[in-house]
A and B are shown apart, each in its own frame.
Chain A
């Protein structure tokens, strides 16, 4: 518990550090939200000054940071220049959509990666090994953008799946079960794109961990005692390979808000991706900082979860903590 409390404190300090640093970096980026309005021949300098003043851009940097921290405490997360409203209410519905996508994809990727990686670890020579190595290397090399565009083309050519978005027109008029089916149909392509992006890394980690465990003396001893191979794998090798995978799982949680951003833009998924991309390009400072902070929070939480799981799974760590 002491170890977890210490990690939580580290996490809090990290959160404060990241917030201050992100604020500074975003402020240092050249140009501001209102720069493009200067290209509108109808807008005068006086109007721009009024707008800058309204959003506090004429105030000193420390004052702006403190105001922003105060707005964090209120749950507003600052104020979007483009939308003219607090960032919090803009983020929450999109965070929900992003999590629906990434939680589904991450869960599916893990469910596929563990058995696939374990099976691969038992086939270290021959065509299965070469085939899986080739496929995972190709998927690792393929950019998410190309993957997503390829899947969109597939949807266009076959007509099997919706070509983007999260729901169909007329979704509101559907029965409850039809709505679930409609969202599921829209999930297929972006989830496939994400799973194909996440899976190769996970499979390779699982394979490496399980292969190491299978080579360990205690596993060889178990085999020599005539314990059935399935038993050896699930009772002995997989638990022994769990530690690096638990850490990787913590990192997966940390990426829940960020792994899908590009896929969301290409697939028109109404999550954080399109909002964040536009906010970055438009220098909508506080709208950029909101998701950055939320991602940091997830990183800290993911690490804490991984620590807790490691404590529960590995008696050596518990013993070291005492």
Chain B
């Protein structure tokens, strides 16, 4: 088998460090060096629900687990490229279907037990076991079949795929390696999904992440302490992490988070509204902390119309689908939207207009050739007129049959920014003669309408993928995908461009040449921008940061940041 060794040697030099085996192949961190010691207090909006990486779905749980556990290959959230982690290198076969991963030697779990290939095989077995209902399972199904992980020797494993998969390396990120010695019994007895709940004793848990569980106080806090067996060192060969402790403090409301941060009780807060960001930025005590811009995220907000096959139900919605289904109608709506107004009014300038679903935060895949969306009521009117719409004497838009164009937009009532955004959209479309009603709904009721009953005209929502790679968006863009929100459960592509998008998405997933993949995905973005199955609005620059918006006390948390950045926050 002719192969290619992809990743490097330089980062894998054996270094002696306290608490680690002398022969351990540690990873040299290239982050800025810091000083050991200290405690970082991080406010969480909601409590983590579990410490079990196999079943965790909520963001707080994943944030904590990201500090407790480690994966074979890690996606560097800055470069967005894969980097070695527990696997020091890997090799891919020429047909792209077989990966051989070489594990670092001499590593230990946080309880001191050695880590080897058996743990890797065990971990993937747990993720793939249907009984566990792991959300990661679907990522490990390639070409309709689960990946096969086999042990070659104590420090090498192979991973076999049913078909070539362009983003295969990224499969090894986000799948934390589990300690077989602690969880094998639970897995054999079918109890793994119940293991490692929040009440788990620290002695019953072990991971390969920079920290380990110290204590949990229900509803209040979760404290992690430094893992003495962690496998990264700084440039000077000093063991990482630097911090002695991380405290995750539950502070359920955003306003209370800001108050406690300003009172010096917490060191970091995340996902601030634009108003709170502005308040922190102009606070006279601002000298005591700093607002760090960690770059744009991947979450995109959008407006979409109900294009579902209603099968004779919901007659009122069905009638309007004659408008919604026209590309010219959606293009006119898009052209009438004042995205800059949304940026200014809703996000106080801290947002970016979007021409397509790929945000500027996705440095690797965004199609920079696409022009930014420009508001043009004249173009919108022209498009509508050509599609057979006309205006009454009072300026109301009517279709060819004389029916006034009226519809409702549903959105999440709990998200104030989104409701405000919908108001701007409502006002913009009024200028086009459309009569739009706004219906803010409780989030689950909204999801029920969009995903189950399809009883809505248009919706304003947002989506964010966990990764920049286009394969993570397959379920959204493939016409039969379960997240193809505007037309769910379709058996075949029907809308303009949809068939081509299906083909392009499927091809990019199995194309191994990165340039060719980029070309294919650029074309997908062009088709989305032209046909507007959903109408991209904005990427908000404050609430939608990929990582945390870090506001650091002068007390010195800054020096400790690189060591928690070893496993940056994920969304």
Which A residues fall within an 8 A CB radius of B?
29-32, 35-47, 50-51, 54, 82-85, 89-90, 93-94, 97, 149, 152-153, 155-156, 159, 162-167, 169, 172, 265-268, 270-271, 273-275, 277-278, 281-283
Contact = CB atoms under 8 A, between A and B. Distances in A.
A282 B252 CA distance: 14
Given A39-B463, A265-B253, A268-B256, A82 B472 contact: no
A32 B444 CA distance: 7
Which 10 pairs from chain A and chain B are nearest by CB? A31-B444, A270-B219, A30-B448, A270-B220, A31-B448, A163-B263, A35-B447, A274-B252, A93-B218, A41-B475
B375 interface: no
15 contacts: A35-B448, A38-B451, A39-B447, A40-B57, A41-B483, A84-B52, A84-B194, A152-B259, A156-B262, A169-B39, A172-B215, A265-B256, A266-B253, A266-B255, A273-B252
A35 B57 CA distance: 13
Given A82-B58, A281-B414, A274 B219 contact: yes
A54 B129 CA distance: 13
A31 B444 CA distance: 5
Contacts of B251: 164-165, 268
A37 B253 contact: no
Interface stretch (B41-49, B326-334, B347-355): B41-49
B198 A31 contact: no
Given A47-B133, A163-B263, A169-B41, A281 B218 contact: no
A10 to B, nearest CB: 34
B259 A31 contact: no
Interface string B432-455: 000000000011111111011000
Interface string B262-281: 11010000000000000000
A84 B263 CA distance: 35
B219 A275 contact: yes
A35 B451 contact: yes
Contacts of A30: 444-445, 448-449
Contacts of B202: none
Nearest to B219: A270
Interface in B449-495: 449, 451-452, 461, 463, 465-466, 472-476, 481-483
Contact of A163 (B46, B52, B220, B259): B259
Given A38-B451, A45-B482, A47-B135, A85 B197 contact: yes
Contacts of B449: 30
Contacts of B215: 172
Nearest to B218: A93
A193 B249 CA distance: 22
The A interface is mostly helix, strand or loop, or mixed, namely helix
B443 A36 contact: yes
B252 A277 contact: yes
A183 to B, nearest CB: 12
B445 A43 contact: no
Contact of A83 (B197, B250, B262): B197
Given A30-B445, A30-B449, A155 B218 contact: no
B219 A31 contact: no
Given A29-B444, A83-B197, A267-B256, A42 B218 contact: no
A55 to B, nearest CB: 9
Given A163-B260, A165-B220, A84 B55 contact: yes
Among B50, B134, B139, B447, find the residue whose CB has the most chain A CB atoms closer than 10 A. Answer: B447
Given A155-B263, A163-B260, A54 B444 contact: no
A281 B444 contact: yes
* Interface size band for B: 35 or more
A54 B193 contact: yes
Contacts of B39: 169
The B interface is mostly helix, strand or loop, or mixed, namely mixed
A38 B483 contact: yes
Nearest to A50: B133
B475 A165 contact: no
Given A42-B138, A270-B219, A50 B250 contact: no
B37 interface: no
B247 interface: yes
A278 B472 CA distance: 28
Given A41-B475, A268-B260, A270-B220, 5 more contacts: A47-B137, A83-B197, A268-B253, A270-B218, A281-B442
A155 B139 CA distance: 48
A166 B220 contact: yes
Given A36-B444, A271-B219, A155 B259 contact: yes
Contacts of A90: 218
Contacts of B220: 165-167, 270
Nearest to B214: A172
Interface of B: 39, 41, 46-47, 49-50, 52, 55, 57-58, 130, 133-139, 141, 193-194, 197-199, 215, 217-220, 247, 249-253, 255-256, 259-260, 262-263, 265, 414, 442-449, 451-452, 461, 463, 465-466, 472-476, 481-483
Contacts, number: 171
Contact of B199 (A31, A42, A85, A275): A85
Contacts of A155: 259, 263
A281 B446 CA distance: 12
A179 to B, nearest CB: 13
B144 to A, nearest CB: 11
Contacts of A36: 443-444, 447
Given A35-B444, A41-B476, A274-B252, A153 B50 contact: no
A164 B41 contact: no
B256 A266 contact: yes
A270 B483 CA distance: 36
Given A31-B444, A266-B256, A274 B138 contact: no
A270 B250 contact: yes
A38 B461 CA distance: 13
A273 B449 CA distance: 28
A84 B448 contact: no
Nearest to B263: A163
Contacts of A265: 252-253, 256
Contacts of A41: 463, 465, 472-476, 481, 483
A44 B219 contact: no
Nearest to A38: B451
B265 A164 contact: yes
Contacts of A162: 263, 265
A47 B49 contact: no
A51 B134 CA distance: 9
Contact of B444 (A45, A152, A172, A283): A283
A273 B252 CA distance: 10
A90 B58 CA distance: 17
A44 B138 contact: yes
A76 to B, nearest CB: 13
A25 to B, nearest CB: 14
B130 A50 contact: yes
A97 B219 contact: yes
A172 B247 CA distance: 14
Contacts of B194: 84-85
B444 to A, nearest CB: 3
Given A39-B463, A270-B250, A281-B444, A44 B482 contact: yes
Contacts of A42: 135-136, 138-139, 465-466, 472, 475
A271 B217 CA distance: 11
A89 B199 contact: yes
A244 B472 CA distance: 64
Contact of B265 (A35, A37, A97, A163): A163
A170 B334 CA distance: 54
Nearest to A94: B219
Contacts of A275: 47, 219
Nearest to B455: A30
Nearest to A159: B263
